[in-house]
Amino acid sequence: MKKFFALLLAAMMVLGICAASTAEEITTANATDVWAEKWADVDTSEHVVINYMTTGDAPTMGANAEMLAKLNERLTEVVNAEINIVWISWTDYLANYNLRIAAMDGSIDLIGSSTDWLDAWPNSKRGGFLELSPEMLQKYAPVTYATVPQNHWDVCTWNGNIYFIPEDNYSQWTNHGFIYRKDWAKEAGLENGCETWADLTTYVKYVKEAYGDKLIALWDTDGTAYPAGGYICSFAKWRSIDGLASGAIWGGYLDDPYKINCLYLEETDRLVEYAKLMKEWDEIGVWPTDVLSNTGADNRLEFRQGKTALEQHHTQTWTGIVSPKASTDNTMYLDDEDADAGFYYWGKEAGYVTRDLVTHGVAAVSAASKHPERTLMVYDMLRNDKTCYDLFNYGLEGRSYAIDENGYRYTPDTYVADNDSISTNWWWGRNDDLEIPSSAMNWDEINALYDEYDKIAVMYPYEAFVFDNSMVQSYINQCNETYNTYMKYICFGQYDVTPEEMVAEFQDALRAAGVDEVTAELQRQIDETYNK
């Protein structure tokens, strides 16, 4: 046995060295020969256009066209292909995204996706994504294949087939929480910022009193963000199974994650507490009176401009707000030199956060693509070739960005966003080995928070679990609809009965919608997956 482990260890080390060397060779600026060698036996005589589909609004100005021309030169040189970006604009993005995949007309090749915020699994199961065999990946995306470990390929596998490539070598945190004005929290007597929900309440009370007249609202929300789960999970160590429905309804406690339950039936007391607290916030006037119909607002932009005091989103968003130079929208720092943005994350009080899924960003190949091989080759270059990476992620050196003596990226003095910015929304193939940190970011604060996370982070427990929803999808739809309805009442204090009655009504509605049937089916499949 000892011998076996020694051999295994040796084999892993050899593999590790191979992988490292491949990655290193490619990361040097002019790796054309290295690539050519890898694809020596691939026929690339026909020039092809690879259509890359991403969510986001197409840039109307800036240097995208010039950047793409340069990039395509490089891609043509190595794999005789060029890339074209197909944008799915943010309005109704999920429906349009799925529709484009369902069209199966060969108009898209490379698809950016995600198992938690875009329908990667439903599209795989419905035949929208091409199955990628290890042989195919090894041949056409050799560097990616060598650098993604087997356990990460496993979480992209369903019914024995790999469906997408994970963006698993990129550090980011997308755990949610409240972004708030740290300078105002200090004024309210909270020296370390908001560390508890009680602190948040003190903070909103103070801000309402001190700045209420100057702000559009404390939180100019449209009533579609539901921190109820975040509140409960600030105290209870519980994790939801992602990708079932928009609401995080099912999951398990971290000490026994494979015992599945519904958070809102398990945690009645905390939910009632939360409902009470939100009624209090409603009375304080944290959000507009007609919060549930307040659809025209853009709270994030308003927060950046110093016109609101709370924003609910994830750490990655906060990093862009806490860094004054990260966006020209961050005008609060110009108007108020003391301005500072803090972040209160769900789980802070219980002392845990869940690491990002490696499938939070994935790349898939359309099943209708006419050039799946070349698509993989282009992906491999975008993810691992230094020249391609810099162009596709940062733009034109000297115009879109420059690099200082410490190796940090900065925007040169000549930079004008309308002329020099680029946008590719490449959230499915970023690579820490090639990332150039930006000097515009407030790394002191960001790294302090990242260090805090690293100490308390736990792995997402359901990564290997792909749910077959066919038997219970109608129940999931019902439950999700019920959840979305009642969360609006509870999370914004929009109810006239007692909090206890409100929560009881919600729980009854969930049961009537079939929540228990879904829990039972999840439990059955979880048991199968984890051989309980």
Partner 1 sequence: MQKAVPQKVINNRKPSVGRTLYQNKTLIIMCIPAIIYFIAFSYMPLPGIYVAFVNYNYRAGIFGSPFIGLRNFEFVAKSGKLWMLTKNTILFNFAFIILDNLLAVVVAILLKEIQSKMFRKVSQTMMFLPYFISQVLVGLLVFSLLNSDTGFLNVVLTRLGMTPLRLYKNGDAWPLIIILVHLWQKTGYNSVVYFAAIMGIDDSIIEASMIDGANGWQKIRHIILPSLRPTIVILLLFALGGIVKGDFGLFWNLVGRNPTLYQKVDIIEMFVYRATVSDFNFSTASAVGMYQSLVGFVLVLTVNTIVKKIEPDYSLF
What number of other Cβ atoms are within 10 A of residue 14's Cβ? 10
Closest contact distance (angstroms) between CB of 470 and partner 1 is 7
Closest contact distance (angstroms) between CB of 328 and partner 1 is 27
What number of other Cβ atoms are within 10 A of residue 98's Cβ? 17
Closest contact distance (angstroms) between CB of 233 and partner 1 is 21
Beta carbons of 200 and 344 less than 8 angstroms apart: yes
Comparison of 182 and 371: residue with beta carbon closer to partner 1:
371
Query: What's the Cα-to-Cα distance from 124 to each of 218, 363, 366, 442, rounded to whole Å?
Result: 42, 12, 10, 39
Closest contact distance (angstroms) between CB of 254 and partner 1 is 25
Comparison of 28 and 485: residue with beta carbon closer to partner 1:
485
According to DSSP, the residues that pair with 111 across neighbouring strands are 53, 364
Residues in contact with 310: Cβ distance below 8 Å, sequence separation at least 6, in sequence order? 178, 179, 180, 204, 218, 219, 286, 303
Distance of alpha carbon 174 from alpha carbon 314, whole angstroms: 5
Closest contact distance (angstroms) between CB of 296 and partner 1 is 6
Nearest to 426 by CA among 398, 394, 399: 394
Which residue type occupies 299? N
Residues in contact with 161: Cβ distance below 8 Å, sequence separation at least 6, in sequence order? 131, 132, 133
Comparison of 202 and 473: residue with beta carbon closer to partner 1:
473
Closest contact distance (angstroms) between CB of 92 and partner 1 is 9
Distance of alpha carbon 217 from alpha carbon 303, whole angstroms: 10
Comparison of 324 and 514: residue with beta carbon closer to partner 1:
514
Nearest to 472 by CA among 523, 532, 530, 527: 523
Closest contact distance (angstroms) between CB of 99 and partner 1 is 8
Nearest to 363 by CA among 172, 145, 149: 145
Comparison of 292 and 457: residue with beta carbon closer to partner 1:
292
Closest contact distance (angstroms) between CB of 476 and partner 1 is 7
Comparison of 237 and 488: residue with beta carbon closer to partner 1:
488
Beta carbons of 97 and 88 less than 8 angstroms apart: yes
Instruction: Give me the residues that bind partner 1 (CB under 8 A), please.
Output: 94-95, 98-99, 101-102, 104, 119, 122, 126-128, 222-224, 245-246, 288-290, 292-296, 367, 470, 473-478, 480-481, 484-486, 488-489, 494, 512-514
Which residue type occupies 318? W
Query: What's the Cα-to-Cα distance from 431 to each of 171, 183, 213, 323, 393, rounded to whole Å?
Result: 9, 34, 45, 22, 10
Closest contact distance (angstroms) between CB of 440 and partner 1 is 35
Comparison of 363 and 476: residue with beta carbon closer to partner 1:
476
Comparison of 35 and 274: residue with beta carbon closer to partner 1:
274
Comparison of 187 and 222: residue with beta carbon closer to partner 1:
222
Parallel/antiparallel/unpaired status of strands 238-240 and 341-345: unpaired
Nearest to 428 by CA among 76, 141, 230: 141
